[in-house]
Structure 1
Amino acid sequence: MAEKLEDLNLPNASVLKIIKEALPESVNIGKDARSALSRAASVFILYITSQASNEAQKANRKTLVGQDVITALEELEFDSFVEPLQEVLKEFKDSKGKKASKPKKSNEEENGGKEEVEDENDQEEDV
């Protein structure tokens, strides 16, 4: 668990990146507004996580899953977030499945297309 309240804040660089992506380039944002948005985002995440944790406990689980977060958003009446989150979860699961199904590289591919050649001294001779 966090030792200090500040440990629960999101990284400022990440928050600033999200803010810049959401606003037009011509808009500047003050330091106090960045701080307020960062704190608000942290509180929102803690709020949703707490509710999702309750959902996991109801199901006798200690691990939160994506569906717990979706259910938490629905129960807390953040319905506008549910569909985008479901899409992101689906993309994540699809990409995770693709990574797991990649074929293993052959020795030739692992060695940059070069076959390993044994040293003549290492070869055993049949007598």
Structure 2
Amino acid sequence: MAEKIEDLNLPNAVITRIIKDALPDGVNVSKEARAAISRAASVFVLYATSCANNFALKGKRKTLNGTDVIAAVQEMEFEQFMDQLKDSWEAFKKEQKDKKDAAEKRKKTKEGEKAEGSSTGQPSQDEVNTSTEAAGNTDSMEQGEDKEDEQEM
């Protein structure tokens, strides 16, 4: 656990970027205001985490999940953010599923190409590269032997 509350602050670069994105162009925010927003955000995250942890403990789990966070936000009486939070969570889950599906598809395609190459009797690209390298090495060895033969004569 952190020794000082300052150790729990969010990174200033992240806070600055969020503030810039939230405000119209041309609005300046003082260093003091950024520090206050940073502290407030840190306290909010800590409180939300604590509330979500209570829901996980009630469920006899050690790992927080999305439903714990949503229940915590609701318990903290931030219902006005519930729709946006749920939409963001659904988008996140969909993105993760799409990434997983794409990775599985790439893996199956790769396995299919390997199986196809070996079933047709044609060497795979790796086998071609290896045999080409080996052939190159034999040529140089043969040339070396020819030179030795010439020197003996």
TM-score normalised by the chain length of structure 2: 0.70
**Larger mean Cα displacement after TM superposition, 98-107 or 42-51:** 98-107
Runs of 4+ in 1 over 2 A off after TM superposition: 105-108
Distance across 2 between alignment mates of 1:97 and 1:26: 39
Distance across 1 between alignment mates of 2:18 and 2:81: 16
Counterpart of 1:111 in structure 2 is none
Compute the displacement of 1:3 (Å): 2.6
Distance across 1 between alignment mates of 2:39 and 2:94: 32
Deviations 1:60-107 (A, max 9, x none): 111000111111111111001111111111111111111111211528
**Larger mean Cα displacement after TM superposition, 80-89 or 62-71:** 80-89
Higher Rg of the two aligned structures:
2
Counterpart of 1:115 in structure 2 is 125
TM-score normalised by the chain length of structure 1: 0.84
Compute the displacement of 1:4 (Å): 2.3
Deviations 1:1-56 (A, max 9, x none): 22321110000000000000011111100000000000000001111111111011
Q: Which has the higher contact order (CA 8 A, sep 6+)?
A: 1
| Superposed CA RMSD | 2.0
Structure (1/2) with the larger helix percentage? 2
Matches within 5 A, 1:54-93: 54-93=54-93
Structure 1 alignment gaps of length 5 or more: 109-113, 123-127
Counterpart of 2:37 in structure 1 is 37
Identity %: 50
Distance across 1 between alignment mates of 2:27 and 2:97: 40
Structure 2 alignment gaps of length 5 or more: 114-123, 136-153
Distance across 2 between alignment mates of 1:106 and 1:84: 39
Matches within 5 A, 1:5-24: 5-24=5-24
Given the alignment of the two structures, is residue 47 of structure 1 paired with residue 47 of structure 2, yes or no? yes
